[in-house]
Amino acid sequence: MTEMKIVDCRGLACPQPVIDTKAALAGATAPILVIVDDQGSCTNVKRFAESQGGRVSVEQQGDEFHLTIEPGHGAPAAETPPIVCETTSAKNTVVYVSSEGMGRGDEELGATLMAAFLDTLSQFKGEISHAIFVNAGAKLATEGSPVLEQLRQLDQVGVQVLVCGTCLNHFDIKDRLAVGGVSNMYAIIDTLSKAGRIIRP
């Protein structure tokens, strides 16, 4: 029996969940599972999948919506329904970390403050969309980092962790990345340009 394909769209801003669903449905014959953590994205994905002849069932699990899409249950609609993106979504705050510590002065204190800052971020589930780590901040996402558990918590609540690939290469620690994904300058600028707010610790 073929394992159901999972399309994890948690933390992705509109219209990316629909774009990812469209790619997954292209040529699909078996059911797929799409996971989103936003009501608007759930509505958009469901409408799109149904317009493509898919049968959709939705199950809410906490703050997440699990959409099981069975393709091939009807002819695609003549027109694809419009994607409605909320312009004032609560989940559009981006955290930008460019150092290993928080603030200037005592390094030990800075490291303590950074750990507390990242630990507290997970309590703002639904507001933080991305956490970007550049320069020395990239070291925080690697093996041996004192805040690795805090970053894993962020990842688990749907925050997309982006780590600068150039920075990882500069410090020769790319093979030690333990949480998040390797990103590039285009993706970083694109994310920052779409942010409603940017927090720099």
140 pLDDT higher than 80: yes
**pLDDT value of position 91:** 63
Cross-strand pairs, 163: 133, 182
Q: What is the 3-state secondary structure (H, E, C) of 135-199?
A: HHHHHHHECCCCCHHHHHHHHHCCCEEEEEHHHHHHCCCHHHECCCEEECHHHHHHHHHCCCEEE
- pLDDT band for position 87 (50/70/90)? very low
CATH architecture of 93-199: 3-Layer(aba) Sandwich (3.40)
**For residues 63 and 32, is the Cβ–Cβ distance under 8 A?**
no
Domain ranges in the chain are 5-70, 93-199
Domain 5-70 part of CATH 3.30.110.40: yes
% of the chain residues with pLDDT over 70: 90
| pTM metric for this prediction | 0.57
Stretch 167-191: mean pLDDT? 93
19-28, 135-144, 153-162: which has the highest mean pLDDT?
135-144
